[in-house]
Every structure is written in structure tokens, then in C-alpha cells.
Amino acid sequence: VAHDEGEVVPQPIGSAGGMKKIQQFGGFFDETTIVLCGDALIDLDLKSALFEHKRKGALASVITKEVPWDKVSDYGVVVTDEHGKVLSFQEKPKHADARSNFASTGIYIFEPQVLDLIPADTVFDIGTDLFPMMVEQGLPFYAQKRTYNWIDIGSVTDFWTVSQSVLMGEVAQMEVPGLQIAEGLWVGLNTQIEWEGTIIEGPVYIGSGCHIEAGCHIVGPTWIGHGSHICAGAEVIRSVLFEYTRISPDVYLDEKVVFKEYSVSRDGEMVHVSAFGNSEWGNARDRRLKRRFGNGHKLEKANAA
């Protein structure tokens, strides 16, 4: 289906194919372009990387990071000569087949001519198709080995870990948002905390428009998204709550990521709220939720059962 704003394609056409489609529609890549994957936290000096790209006369550059050998199958790995020119590119090779442990971090710098190499209306991927083609043709394709923090967020477990690190101040250039009102406690605008019987042990971030009822116990690192409602007696331990999450009275959450109807443990186990009678958590905006709870059910005990 065609639209004035673009085109809806019936199936994915690959990362490079998507760039080609955008170029055909609007000429978006007519200048040197930096391409970033959105599932990582980085503090890379992009200006310095761009300078090296230009200095070497590269048609394409890929930013790499050394990873443990037992993790190479999770990434595209790069083999270079002494000048950094890419000799081979393997997309997620088996451990036994990997020729390098320098992984592509999904950060690329492209000159406009790269788009001419991508066939139109064809499924075409940057890692599996474009880069091997450039190596085969001997084009000026370089890898940069830089010192920077690159934190992969490829799973919910990774998201939990990174959130913990941010709150602990372990991620460079990532500050906890909100106003710090006490040691280890940051809050957003229009948030109400009923302090009677409430214990908050930081680091904890509570977003805007939240309501923390009396008698809650919150232990950090914990991130509570805006618009959330933690009911009386609930305990939230080292967890991440997405926006507009309502935690029912006396519920116990320990090392969970909670969003909509699901919770995911730090080990990646996903649980639907229906496993607990739809009463453990819910949408704070849903006014149909009724406060008809007894003593509540402990989530961890239910998991054990």
C-alpha cells in the first residue's frame, strides 16, 4: 500500500534494503551518514570516529568492540589487516568458525556511494550481504577499534541489568532523571509519596505522576515508570516497572521487569498476570480495577508453587 508519507511493505526487507527504500523515497543518505542500532547504550566519541573515517578515505566504517570468544556467535565479527581494512566479515559465526573476536557494534559510517551497492526491491542485510560484498570487491571498508562503553540490550534480562547499572551510577554520561529529594531517591513532577510506614532504600527513581501509598517497601536499584501506583503494603525489590503500572496491595516483586500484563525475572522467565488471578499488577489507568483484595498473594511464593 502506497502513501504520501512513504510505503508500507508486506515483509521486512533487511537493514540495507530498508536504507535503499528510504533513499529511493527521499534521498535521505545524500551525505556521510552515521547508522546506529537502537538496542545498546554507548558513550562513543562520534566526532573522532567520523574524523578517522574521513582520514582513511573509507567508503564504509564499522565500529568494533572486543568480546569474549564464547560470545562471538551473538555478533558479526570482523577480521582486519594492520591498517584496519576489513579482510573478512562473519555474521554470527559458530565459535569454531570465528576468525576474530572483534564484534561489530551496529555502529556504521557510510558514504552515499554505499547506497549504490544495494539492489533495489530486494531483501538485503548490512551484515550478511552488504559487508561481505564490499570485502569481495576490495572496496575501502575499514573497522575502527575504539575505547568506549558499549552495553548491549538485546533481551529483557539485559534491560534489567542496564537499568540497575544506570541507577548505581556505573554507566558513564547517564544520569538519573528527576529531582533528588533524599539520598539515593529521585522523583519526577507531581508524585505523591505517603511516608507513614513507607521505607525506600535507594537508589530508586520514581517517575512523574506516581502514587506511593503508605506502608510500601521499595529497595533499589529500582526504577518506577511515570504514572505508576504502588498500593499499600506492596514490596518492590530491585525491579523495573514500566509506565502506568499498578502494583496491588501486599504484592511482593523481587528482581522483576513489569510491563502491561507481564513480568519477566532477571533470568528471563516471563509470567502473565493471569497466573495470579489477574490481581498482582495491572494498568494504573484502568479505572475498572477494583480494590477488592484480601491479604494479597506473594509473587515469589506463587512462583515457587
DSSP state of 232: T
If asked whether residues 186 and 256 sit together in one domain, one would say yes
If asked whether residues 106 and 120 sit together in one domain, one would say yes
If asked whether residues 294 and 163 sit together in one domain, one would say yes
pLDDT in tens, 41-62: 888 889 999 999 999 999 999 9
If asked whether residues 43 and 140 sit together in one domain, one would say yes
Last residue of a domain, one of 132, 152, 172: 152
pLDDT of residue 297: 44
Q: Which of 144, 143, 60 is nearest to 109 (CA)?
A: 60
pTM, 2 dp: 0.69
If asked whether residues 178 and 296 sit together in one domain, one would say yes
If asked whether residues 94 and 163 sit together in one domain, one would say no
If asked whether residues 140 and 165 sit together in one domain, one would say no
List Cα–Cα distances, 110 to 49, 76, 105, 133, in angstroms: 12, 17, 15, 15
Domain of residue 22, residue span? 2-152
In degrees, to the nearest 5, what angle opens at C-alpha 252 toward C-alphas 40 and 294?
140
If asked whether residues 18 and 123 sit together in one domain, one would say yes
**253 alpha carbon, distance to own chain's centre:** 22
Cα–Cα distance, 18 to 44 (Å, whole number): 25
Low-confidence residues of the chain, pLDDT below 70? 1-10, 278, 287-305
> Sheet holding 252-254: strands in order across?
199-201, 217-219, 235-237, 252-254
Phi, psi of 160 (to 5 degrees): -60, -45
pLDDT in tens, 139-166: 999 999 988 887 878 888 889 999 999 9
If asked whether residues 298 and 246 sit together in one domain, one would say yes
CATH assignment at residue 242: 2.160.10
* The total number of structural domains that make up the chain: 2
Dump the DSSP string for 237-268: ES-EE-TTEEEPTT-EEESEEEETTEEEETT-
If asked whether residues 144 and 164 sit together in one domain, one would say no
CATH assignment at residue 68: 3.90.550.10
If asked whether residues 133 and 169 sit together in one domain, one would say no
If asked whether residues 121 and 197 sit together in one domain, one would say no
Pull the grid cell for residue 131.
Answer: 559487508
Beta-bridge mates of residue 257 = 240, 264
In degrees, to the nearest 5, what angle opens at C-alpha 105 toward C-alphas 17 and 121?
5
